[in-house]
Amino acid sequence: MKKLDIYISKNFIKSFLLSLIAFINIFILSQLFKIIRYITAGRMSVSESATYILYLLPKIFIEVTPLAILLGSLMCINRMASNLEIISLKTSGISFRRIVRYPIIISFLISLIVFQVMNRIHPTALAKSRALRAGRKISERVLPTTKNNAFLRTEDNLVYYIKQVDRIGNTGNLLEIIKLNKEFDKIDEIITAKTGEFDLNKNQWVLKDAVINNFVNKTQKSYKVYSNEALNKGPSDFITIQGDPDELTNAEITKSIRDIRITGGDIKEPLSILGKRYSFPFASFIVSFLGLALGSRYVRGASAISIALSVGLGYSYYIVQASFEALSVNGLLNPFISGWIPNVIFLCLGIYFMKEAEY
């Protein structure tokens, strides 16, 4: 079986790479007219256009890999079926699931590669391609040192407002901290201070010239120096990386979502992108079941039909995925659920066809 697994794996990888190169070339050709227009308009030089294409490759790789897996798996198994190798192996008592074990494992490994490219390489390449297309300098995202009019809401129903916060010096000017009741509809206390310094050792603010107005007891107290362990949100919590979620890594999107949530912003778009980041890469693994099963039986003259059917199923996945993504962006469905619904649907189809291929 070891030699057989190596033989099948080599054929599968070869078919996948041929399909991948073909789809990448098609996508690059579709971009050529746009690039030529940029060159003739003086927006790009010839060397810049070549660099622009390189920056597009991660995105193209991510988008076409499921189709390449689907077509490559079909071509690999269909070739074996046409040579009567599949029927011979079945006759010798080897199940179809055992025959396609290694192509499925390889597809899963390719999905992990797509996941890493989508998380680490694609965001940077996308930012650089957009900067090159817009004719501006490519700059790295750097956390600003200070921020004016910083606003933050905590889980303890505290609302911070700082006129100016300094991340490096861990200081703030003109602070106002509002404490609301559990229902978040009534103010219990307001703390104001001229300046404040965040104590990293104690993880709390040390306020100077502070005034506390308690609306429950209707009292007012003044302090030269005031600190409270509940005031534990430091300057770094107020200053975050801003940018397009598509240009952020998964960790950066997660942090951005947390920051947007506590400031009361709209998190539907970054959540949708993050959900897609954790679901779409595994489409390559899931569609491999379809391609392998569709190519399992050899019927003279039916190869073209199988290829057309596999490509049609591949594009159907994109349509279903885009439809559920739209639902998540509009807030009608949880982004992680909407991202995995197409995977579950096509996995069920793949398992069904795989069972049919056993006979």
Closest listed residue to residue 226, CA positions, set 268, 273, 191, 259 = 191
Residue whose entry in the numeric block shows the structure tokens 């256009």: 49
The C-alpha atoms of residue 123 and residue 125 are separated, in whole angstroms, by: 6
Q: Which of the four pLDDT bands, split at 50, 70 and 90, describes residue 304? A: low
Q: Which of the four pLDDT bands, split at 50, 70 and 90, describes residue 106? A: very high
Lookup: tokens for 345:
């649907």
Torsion of CA 258, 260, 264, 268, to 10 degrees: -90
* pLDDT at residue number 194: 92
* pLDDT at residue number 16: 95
DSSP string, 98-144: HHTHHHHHHHHHHHHHHHHIIIIIHHHHHHHHHHHHHT---------
Closest listed residue to residue 166, CA positions, set 214, 236, 101, 69 = 236
pLDDT tens-digit profile of 232-284?
Answer: 888 888 776 566 788 888 988 888 887 777 655 678 888 889 999 999 999 99
Closest listed residue to residue 132, CA positions, set 33, 39, 244 = 39
* pLDDT for 196 beyond 80: yes
* pLDDT at residue number 38: 83
Lookup: tokens for 300:
């003279």
* pLDDT at residue number 300: 46
The C-alpha atoms of residue 309 and residue 303 are separated, in whole angstroms, by: 10
Which long-range contacts link 164-167 to residues 24+ away (Cβ below 8 Å)? 165/235, 165/238, 165/239, 166/235, 167/143, 167/235, 167/236, 167/238, 167/239
* pLDDT at residue number 23: 92
The amino acid at residue 200 is L
Using only C-alpha atoms, the chain has a radius of gyration, in whole angstroms, of 28
Q: Which of the four pLDDT bands, split at 50, 70 and 90, describes residue 93? A: confident
Q: How far is CA 341 from its chain centroid?
A: 16
* pLDDT at residue number 264: 57
Model pTM? 0.74
Determine the average pLDDT of the residues in 179-191: 88
Determine the average pLDDT of the residues in 47-73: 92
DSSP string, 271-284: HHHHHHHTTGGGHH
Residues 53 and 132 sit within 8 Å (Cβ to Cβ): no
Residue whose entry in the numeric block shows the structure tokens 């949100």: 233
* pLDDT at residue number 281: 94
> Could you tell me which residues come within 8 angstroms of residue 169 by beta carbon, excluding any fewer than 6 positions away?
none
Selected residue with higher pLDDT from 127 and 304? 127
* pLDDT at residue number 301: 46
* pLDDT at residue number 246: 85
Q: What is the mean pLDDT of the chain?
A: 86
State percent of the chain over pLDDT 90. 40
